[in-house]
C-alpha cells in the first residue's frame, strides 16, 4: 500500500492525500509537479526512475488506511534550489 507522504521532498510543499500535484517514483519518493518538472529528464533525483502522478486514495479508505505524517526531505535537492543552477 502506498505511504502517501505529506510533502514534496525538495521544496517541502504540503501534498495532502487528495493532491493532484503529487508525483512519485517506484520507491515512493514524493515531489510536487513543479519540482519534478525541473529535474533532468523529469526523473527522480534519488533513484533516476520516472515520476508519475500519485494515485488518490478514496476518502472513505483514508479512515482505515491513513496517509503518512512522516515528512521526508532531500537535503541535496534543497541545497541546489537555494544555490540555483550550476554556472
pLDDT at 77: 83
Alpha-carbon gap, residue 85 to 72, rounded angstroms = 23
Alpha-carbon gap, residue 46 to 49, rounded angstroms = 8
Instruction: Give domain status of residue 14, yes or no.
Output: no
Instruction: Give domain status of residue 17, yes or no.
Output: no
**pTM as predicted:** 0.85
Instruction: Give domain status of residue 35, yes or no.
Output: yes
Instruction: Give domain status of residue 27, yes or no.
Output: yes
pLDDT at 41: 92
pLDDT at 76: 80
Instruction: Give domain status of residue 15, yes or no.
Output: no
The range of the structural domain enclosing residue 60 comes to: 22-81
Alpha-carbon gap, residue 39 to 27, rounded angstroms = 17
Instruction: Give domain status of residue 86, yes or no.
Output: no
Which tops the pLDDT comparison, 13 or 1?
Answer: 13
Number of domains in the chain: 1
Instruction: Give domain status of residue 44, yes or no.
Output: yes
Strand partners, 50: 43
Instruction: Give domain status of residue 7, yes or no.
Output: no
Amino acid at each position: 500500500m502506498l505511504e502517501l507522504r505529506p510533502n514534496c521532498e525538495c521544496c517541502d510543499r504540503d501534498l495532502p492525500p487528495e493532491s493532484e500535484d503529487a508525483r512519485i517514483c517506484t520507491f515512493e519518493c514524493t515531489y510536487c509537479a513543479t519540482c519534478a518538472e525541473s529535474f533532468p529528464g523529469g526523473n527522480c533525483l534519488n533513484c533516476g526512475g520516472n515520476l508519475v502522478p500519485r494515485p488518490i486514495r478514496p476518502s472513505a479508505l483514508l479512515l482505515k488506511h491513513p496517509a503518512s505524517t512522516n515528512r521526508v526531505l532531500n537535503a541535496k535537492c534543497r541545497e541546489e534550489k537555494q544555490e540555483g543552477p550550476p554556472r
